[in-house]
Amino acid sequence: MKLSEMREKTVEELQNAIVDWKKDLFNYKLQLATNKLENTASIANTKKLIAQAKTIINEKASKEAEVTNA
């Protein structure tokens, strides 16, 4: 998922996506431990997606805080 696609989603949708990605990350780590993971870059990519989604959630929260404080 691209950043532009993430920015179009609501906070709830992003939080649901984070939960799904964390499940994927857990499975990737299990596969890595059992030497069944073929693409080790998928772990880093999933971590990156989670971080990007959390950043966008924080950006949206700070924008809402600015609007309510103004």
Chain center to CA of 1: 9
Residue 10's domain comprises 3-69
Q: Indicate the burial class of 46 (C-beta count within 10 angstroms; 0-12, 13-18, 19 or more).
A: buried
Q: What is the CATH number of the domain that holds 62?
A: 1.10.287.310
Walking along the chain (70 residues) 10 residues at a time, the average pLDDT comes out as 93 97 98 96 97 96 86
**DSSP designation for 2:** -
Q: How many domains does the chain have?
A: 1
- Sequence length of the chain is 70
pTM for the structure as a whole: 0.91
Nearest residue to 46 via CA among 67, 31, 36? 31
User: For residue 1, what pLDDT is reported?
Assistant: 85
